């Protein structure tokens, strides 16, 4: 028998009014049956936010896990992403994602990374149409810097709801946080458990003192900063323990110590 876990219930309200759970489940590099198993385990553990992408090649598996989970579609926040190579073909790409995901809309659709030159503006215009038509409830970008965020906003009148970027205590930068907050753009982090975070002595020390895992400390740090965090795992125990972060809080001192691991 598995012990019960305490999930966080923190959400952030996005530009068009959707409530996005701050904790989601990442699915990069999980394919085939393993993707069905992992996404099913995440839903079973209580995650209500799944992150996939056209280029992950697992939207069909994520969709199958969701359909078979019995969890109502409207209780799950579903993100997918469009590669910029699909410029000119954006809506067909989204419709293919929707078919695979077995749904009539995604909650968030992201430009996966910036395209060349001014192509982002055209892609972003198509994203605006997808939002108007309801195929994507919210639209955003990934791997954009603040100059690019401003460029697409000025060109189209649509502000990205979210920017998904690589992020962790080791990458914390108050200026980047301010860049997003000033623009009303939610900062969503990825690869929080990579780049040496799990072995960092400060993080390990806090984890040991609190009787938590390093991953839980990192995930909890995101939640207390109102950053979205989407840990990935194929291991059912880790899937559960990464979500078991609702029942403790990091002190102000520990939050400050973690902030100093980045640029402060
Ligand atoms: N927009 C983008 O360009 C972009 C880029 C990268 C990622 N992402 C998104 O962000 C998600 C998360 O990023 P990520 O996949 O790079 O990795 P991550 O969440 O940082 O996880 C990295 C690795 O840590 C391991 N792990 C997970 N929980 C653990 C734990 N409790 N203790 C020890 N190890 C643990 C996992 O291995 P096991 O599976 O073996 O547990 C995983 O392979 C992705 O899945 C994807 O959805 C987006």
Whether 256 is covered by a domain: the verdict is: no
Give domain status of residue 61, yes or no.
yes
The answer to whether residue 44 sits within a structural domain is yes
| pLDDT per residue as tens digits for the range 220-251 | 999 999 999 999 999 999 999 999 999 999 99
The pLDDT score that the predictor gives to residue 188 is 99
CATH of the domain at 103: 3.20.20.100
Residues in contact with ligand 1 by the CB-under-6-Å rule are 26-28, 51, 112-113, 142-143, 164, 190-194, 198, 213, 215, 230-235, 238, 241-242
Classify residue 127: in a domain, yes or no. Answer: yes
Whole-number Å distance, alpha carbon 219 to ligand 1 midpoint, is: 12
110, 190, 200, 218: which to mutate for ligand 1, most atoms within 8 A of CB? 190
Secondary structure (3-state) at 137: strand
Which member of 56, 158, 172, 190 is catalytic?
56
Quote the radius of gyration of the chain (alpha carbons, Å): 18
The domain in which residue 92 lies consists of: 13-194+227-241
Q: Is 201 exposed, middle or buried (0-12, 13-18, 19+ CB in 10 A)?
A: exposed
**159 domain-assigned:** yes
Tens digits of per-residue pLDDT, 103-144? Answer: 999 999 999 999 998 899 999 999 999 999 999 999 999 999
The residue whose CA has the least distance to atom 5 of ligand 1 is 190
Spell out the residues 6+ positions from residue 82 whose beta carbon is closer than 8 angstroms to its own: 54, 90, 93, 94, 97, 109, 110, 111, 112, 123, 127
Taking CA atoms only, the protein residue closest to ligand 1 atom 14 is 191
Q: Is residue 203 part of a domain?
A: no
Q: What is the band of 158 on the pLDDT scale with cuts at 50, 70, 90?
A: very high
**CA dist., res. 144 & res. 153, Å (int):** 12
DSSP assigned state of 116: S
When divided into structural domains, the chain yields a total of 1
Is 3 domain-assigned?
A: no
Q: Which atom of ligand 1 is nearest to the CA of 198?
A: 33
């Amino acid at each position: 028998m598995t012990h019960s876990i305490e999930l966080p219930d923190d959400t952030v309200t996005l530009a068009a009014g959707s409530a996005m759970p701050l904790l989601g489940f990442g699915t990069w590099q999980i394919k085939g049956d393993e993707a069905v198993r992992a996404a099913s385990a995440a839903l079973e553990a209580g995650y209500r936010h799944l992150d996939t992408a056209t280029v992950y090649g697992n939207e069909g598996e994520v969709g199958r896990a969701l359909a078979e989970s019995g969890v109502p579609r409207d209780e799950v926040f579903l993100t997918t992403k469009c590669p910029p190579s699909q410029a000119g073909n954006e809506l067909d790409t989204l419709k293919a994602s929707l078919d695979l995901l077995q749904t009539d809309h995604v909650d968030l659709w992201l430009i996966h990374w910036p395209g060349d030159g001014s192509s982002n503006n055209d892609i972003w215009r198509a994203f605006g149409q997808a939002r108007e038509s309801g195929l994507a409830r919210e639209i955003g970008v990934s791997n954009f810097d603040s100059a690019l965020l401003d460029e697409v906003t000025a060109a189209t009148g649509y502000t990205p709801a979210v920017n998904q970027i690589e992020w962790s205590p080791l990458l914390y930068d108050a200026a980047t946080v301010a860049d997003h907050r000033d623009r009303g753009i939610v900062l969503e982090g990825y690869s929080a458990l990579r780049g040496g975070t799990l072995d960092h002595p400060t993080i390990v020390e806090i984890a040991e003192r609190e009787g938590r895992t390093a991953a839980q400390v990192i995930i909890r740090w995101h939640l207390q900063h109102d950053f979205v965090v989407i840990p990935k795992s194929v291991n059912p125990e880790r899937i559960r323990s990464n979500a078991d972060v609702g029942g403790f809080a990091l002190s102000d001192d520990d939050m400050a110590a973690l902030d100093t691991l980045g640029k402060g």
